[in-house]
Each structure stands twice: as structure tokens, then as C-alpha cells.
Amino acid sequence: MPQAATDPLLVIDIGGTTVKYGVWTDQRVQRKGRFDTPPTWEGLLANLLKVQQRDNLNFRGVAISLPGSVDPVAGKISGTSAVNYLNGFPIKATLRAAMGLPVSIQNDANCAGLAESWRGNAQDVDDAIFLIIGTGIGGAMIMDHRLVTGQQHFTGEFGYMVMNAEGGTLSELASPVRMAERYSRRQNLLTAVTAQDVYDAAASGDAVAQQSITEMMHWLSIGAFNNYVSLNPQRLLIGGGISARPGFVAGLRAEIQALMRANGAPLTVDVRPCKFLNDANLIGAVRQFDLEYGAVTAAPAVSVPTP
């Protein structure tokens, strides 16, 4: 059956440990589900075909968010990603043949940026950069309302920035996961702890936990400052689960402002959390599909809150 612009879109977010999926219809993600990322391509394909056939819907296409340096035109990941068997694999053409539908692919952090620029907290600005904080630190850059990807599709990989003379990267020094690992080593703990555990310990007066958080925020603010003075965006948006933590974004904003004053950089600092958390990659994948195949759906007017 031919696809129409009003038909639902199958949206998929492939991560290193989990694959999330849903159906984009009536201007939102519905019928959401997930499964563990299979260890092989054959396993992943089998699961995706089951998802496609689950509700017997006439999909107009498949929109996919992926980790790594994604080339949407060539239809594959260059370099490395969290799903090793996808590196260099022609996933777009292979899925199109297997599923019989148009397929789009885009980097996961880029999808988050597209979601915010389309329907989130960056839709009212022309230029924005995004720091997506998780196990590592990814990101995206929107200029003149367009996603900037670079010659080798590496724009926004801010976590690779070398931050000190020892070669420490932003991901190593400012990721909450790495912060928790450092805290665990300093305390000689025998079990793993999470960033939430460290914050809880800090709230209870644990000086080592407090210092660990201070160090993380220090490096994160320097990374954000460097992006600000390099790219001069209208807005910086912070994504990832930690961005929803009370006071986190405000604290980061204050540290960036302090760096601006200390270095004589008279730039306006507009730092806000991303609007979308769990569904950001899925919503951004929809935007990528629509831009690629021409079925762009206008975003409704949404007020963007001030910080």
C-alpha cells in the first residue's frame, strides 16, 4: 500500500544497551516500547521487524537515531559507535530493503538538537549548541535553524575536547558517570556508585562527594565556556538525565558567567535545560526523516520558558 504523509512513522532509538521505539502519530510519540540491544545485527533486525509488524500499521517510513558519526546520506556510521556491529554497515539501505520503507538515520545527540530546535527550548532562536550529558558528553550545533554536522559528521562531539595537560577529555572529567567512578576510588569503595549516590552523600556532608561534584562542574563549565567563546550561540541547552536535577543548570550557568567575567568576555549567557528527555532522540529522528523526505510537519506554537 502506498504511504501518505498522514500515515504513522516508526521511530527507533538504538543505544548501546537499549533500543527504544514508538509510533509517531497525532503529533506525538505513542505505543512506546523497548528491548535490550541484541549482540548481533541479525538479532537487531529480527526485533525491528517484529516491531514493524506488531500493530499491523501502514507506516510511511522508519526514522532512526543512532550513536556514533552518522552519515545520513551514505546511510552508515563512520568511525566507532556504542554498537560495534553497525560501524561501517549500510544500515539504511539494508533496512529499507528488509522493511520495504523509506529509512532515515541520524546521530542521537543531533536528534536531540533537532527535537529542541523544532519543538523544544531552542525553537525561538536561530543558533544554539547542545551538551548532552550521560556516560560521556555528546552534543549538537544548530546554526540558522540548520543542523551543522561537519565534513566527517563529527560536529558536536564536544566530549572529545582535551581539557588539561594530562590529556583528560571533557567526557572523562565532566561526565557524572566518571565523577562517580572517581568518588568510588577515592573512598576505596568495593561496590559501584551512581552520580545520585554521590549527590546524596554530598547532601549528607560528605566532603569527598562535595569535592567530586565541584570538580565535575568546574570542567563542565570550562567546556561550555569554550564552546560559547568559539561559537557564540544565542543559547546553550543541557540535556541528559542530570539536567533535570534541581539547581544543576542554574549552577552551571553561574559558573559560566563567572568565567566570562574572569576572562573579559562580554557575552550573554543563556543556559537552559532541554525540554525533552526520554523522547528527545525519537522526536529528533522524526524531524530528520521529514527534512530528508520532504514531509515536514509544522510545529505548533509553544512558549519557551525563560531561565
pLDDT in tens, 116-140: 999 999 999 999 999 999 888 999 9
Q: How confident is the model at residue 238 (pLDDT cuts 50, 70, 90)?
A: very high
300, part of any domain: no
CB atoms within 10 A of CB 115: 30
112, part of any domain: no
301, part of any domain: no
Do 132 and 176 belong to one domain? yes
Do 20 and 148 belong to one domain? no
Which pTM was predicted?
Answer: 0.89
Do 96 and 159 belong to one domain? no
| Nearest C-alpha neighbor of 112 from the set 13, 25, 228, 31 | 13
Exposed/middle/buried for residue 205 (C-beta within 10 Å: 0-12, 13-18, 19+): exposed
pLDDT, average across residues 68-85: 87
- Using the structure block, give the residue that is written with the C-alpha cell 528488509: 98
Do 95 and 139 belong to one domain? no
Confidence (pLDDT) at 297: 46
Do 146 and 225 belong to one domain? yes
The overall average pLDDT reported for the chain is 91
User: What total of structural domains would you count in the chain?
Assistant: 2
Do 125 and 257 belong to one domain? yes
pLDDT at 298 over 80: no
Confidence (pLDDT) at 296: 47
Do 196 and 69 belong to one domain? no
Instruction: Tell me the residue range of the domain where 187 lies.
Output: 121-274
Confidence (pLDDT) at 289: 96
Do 129 and 69 belong to one domain? no
Taking the CA atoms of residue 115, residue 118, residue 119 and residue 121 in that order, the dihedral angle to the nearest 10 degrees is: 80
Confidence (pLDDT) at 122: 96
Q: What is the amino acid identity at position 53?
A: Q
Q: How far apart are CA 284 and CA 116, in angstroms?
A: 8
Do 191 and 142 belong to one domain? yes
115, part of any domain: no
Q: How far apart are CA 87 and CA 278, in angstroms?
A: 25
Q: How confident is the model at residue 299 (pLDDT cuts 50, 70, 90)?
A: very low
Do 220 and 254 belong to one domain? yes
Confidence (pLDDT) at 5: 62
305, part of any domain: no
191, part of any domain: yes
CB-based contacts of 289, cutoff 8 Å, min separation 6: 9, 61, 62, 63, 102, 104, 295
114, part of any domain: no
CB-based contacts of 44, cutoff 8 Å, min separation 6: 14, 19, 37, 38, 83
* Per-residue pLDDT tens digits for 163-214: 999 999 999 999 999 999 999 999 999 999 999 999 999 999 999 999 999 9
Do 127 and 100 belong to one domain? no
Confidence (pLDDT) at 48: 96
Do 265 and 283 belong to one domain? no
2, part of any domain: no
The three-class DSSP label of residue 234 is coil
Does residue 289 contact residue 63 with C-beta atoms inside 8 Å? yes
| CATH number assigned to the domain comprising residue 68 | 3.30.420.40
